[in-house]
A and B are shown apart, each in its own frame.
Chain A
Amino acid sequence: MTLDWSIVWDSRWALLDGAALTVLLTVLTMLVALPGGLALALMRLSRFRILAVASACFVELFRNLPLILVVYWAFYVLPVLTGLELPAFATGLAALCLNVSAYNSETLRAGINSIRRGQMEAGMALGMSRGQALREIVLPQAGRRVLPVLASTWVSLFKDTSLVSVIAVGELAHTALQIRSQSFRVLEMLTALAAIYWLMGYPQAKLVDWIDRRFVVTE
């Protein structure tokens, strides 16, 4: 078996583009899924039963489905539902957002619940409304507390973006697999694919470890 690694070097710009799209997908998803998760968490904790139940159903649904299936499903359903011609990127992004919002919602909810009720009461005793007390007192503390988990979710999301390759979104995995099919350099391209993910993902994983240590909760 002869190996020819030059294919990797020759395709470096395409691979770089793919990697950039991976990063873009990750960033865009988190930009939507953090406020989205917060909204869902607040709905779940609200006094209005209908909001709480709706949020709970949404979260349970997306936590109990394989993401790859949601990607396929979104690809076919969203254009029909919205009546728009949606590019694969949009439907893939939508699937990621739905999935990660559900996870973030659980993380944030646990964080909010972990803040002593007395903190909320102290804020309200000063005359703050529930909303003010949440914003000024509970959420800042809850956010700090769940930062390690959110960081971990980020890294999982980064890996999960590879799944939108199945609907031909040109992120890293799709790009590398395409080049493999076209060049028949299977081992080289697949190894390069793994290596590039490793190069991008390993530092992120180490950063998460650092965040874990730095934000250890002492109470």
Chain B
Amino acid sequence: MELDFTPVLESWRYLLGGLGLTLLLSAVAALCSLAAGLLVGLGRTYGPAWLRVPLTFYIDSMRAIPVLVVLVWVYFAVPLLTGASFSPFWAALAALTVHLAAYVAEVVRAGLGSVRAGQVRAGLALGMSRAQVVRVVVLPQAVVRMLPAFGSVLSVTIKDTAIAAVIAVPELMRRSETVAGQSYHPIEVFTTAMAAYFLILFPTTRLVDALYGRVAHLGRS
């Protein structure tokens, strides 16, 4: 197998631009998913029934429907329904957030549930209101326990941005496809893309593991 990496080298600026967009989309999508997922998770755990039921339905539905399908539906179908059109980037951001927030919400629910009931009782016994107990006693401990899962949310987000290629978001995956198609050297191009993604993802998961190791004791009760 003869390998010729010159097409990769010739398009390095183009590919680097794609990498930049991958990182941007990942960061923004992760933040939005974490924020939205936290709210949904709190609503699912502590909310009234009229809130819990639709939220549970939403979360369970995202467990059934692939990201690809959500991406395609948001980009192609929503404009038809609402008349508004958006760029691939914003469609991808919306779709990724909708899909990932459900996952984050489940992480939040599990984290909140893992704090021992005795902790809640202790807070109430001190005279705190339910809301204060959640804010001051439960949430801080739960957040620490959720950190490893949050770290994997970041990892999943970065991997899911690659799927945004199917709706032509000009991130790394899409641009790699383009270069591969034009240069007739798909193996070299995709191998380079693999190296790039690995170099982003591997440290991300390691970093989260390391951070968790430092703060784990704060969440033990």
Which residues does A use to contact B, with CB under 8 Å?
A: 1, 60-61, 63-70, 72-73, 76-77, 80-81, 155, 159-160, 162-163, 165-166, 173, 177, 180, 186-187, 190-191, 193-194, 197-198, 200-202, 204-206
Q: Does B173 contact A (CB under 8 A)?
A: yes
Cβ B187 vs Cβ A65 within 8 A: no
A186 to B77, CA, bound (A): 7
A121 to B53, CA, bound (A): 49
A174 to B110, CA, bound (A): 35
Interface string of B151-164 (1 = CB under 8 A from A): 00001001111110
User: In the complex, how many angstroms separate the beta carbon of B5 from the nearest chain A beta carbon?
Assistant: 15
Which of B36-44, B63-71, B137-145 contacts the other chain?
B63-71
Q: Does B90 contact A (CB under 8 A)?
A: no
B162 in complex: contacting residue of A66, A159, A190, A204, CB < 8 Å: A66
Q: Does B125 contact A (CB under 8 A)?
A: no
User: In the complex, how many angstroms separate the beta carbon of A41 from the nearest chain B beta carbon?
Assistant: 19
B64 in complex: contacting residue of A70, A77, A200, CB < 8 Å: A200
Cβ B73 vs Cβ A204 within 8 A: no
Cβ A198 vs Cβ B65 within 8 A: yes
Given A173-B68, A201-B63, A205-B63, A69 contacting B193 (CB threshold 8 A): yes
B187 in complex: contacting residue of A76, A163, A202, CB < 8 Å: A76
Which of B6-14, B197-205, B211-219 contacts the other chain?
B197-205
User: In the complex, how many angstroms separate the beta carbon of B133 from the nearest chain A beta carbon?
Assistant: 26
Cβ A165 vs Cβ B68 within 8 A: yes
> A-B pairs with the 5 shortest C-beta distances?
A201-B64, A66-B162, A159-B66, A64-B201, A66-B159
Which residues does B use to contact A, with CB under 8 Å?
A: 1, 60-61, 63-70, 72-73, 76-77, 80-81, 155, 158-163, 165-166, 173, 176-177, 180, 186-187, 190-191, 193-194, 197-198, 201-202, 205
Residues of A within 8 A of B187 (CB): 73, 76-77, 80
A13 to B140, CA, bound (A): 52
A133 to B201, CA, bound (A): 37
| Chief secondary structure at chain A's binding surface | helix
User: In the complex, how many angstroms separate the beta carbon of A92 from the nearest chain B beta carbon?
Assistant: 13
Residues of B within 8 A of A198 (CB): 61, 64-65
A102 to B197, CA, bound (A): 17
Given A163-B68, A201-B65, A202-B60, A64 contacting B81 (CB threshold 8 A): no
Cβ B163 vs Cβ A186 within 8 A: no
Given A65-B197, A72-B177, A60 contacting B202 (CB threshold 8 A): yes
Residues of A within 8 A of B61 (CB): 198, 202
Residues of B within 8 A of A165 (CB): 68
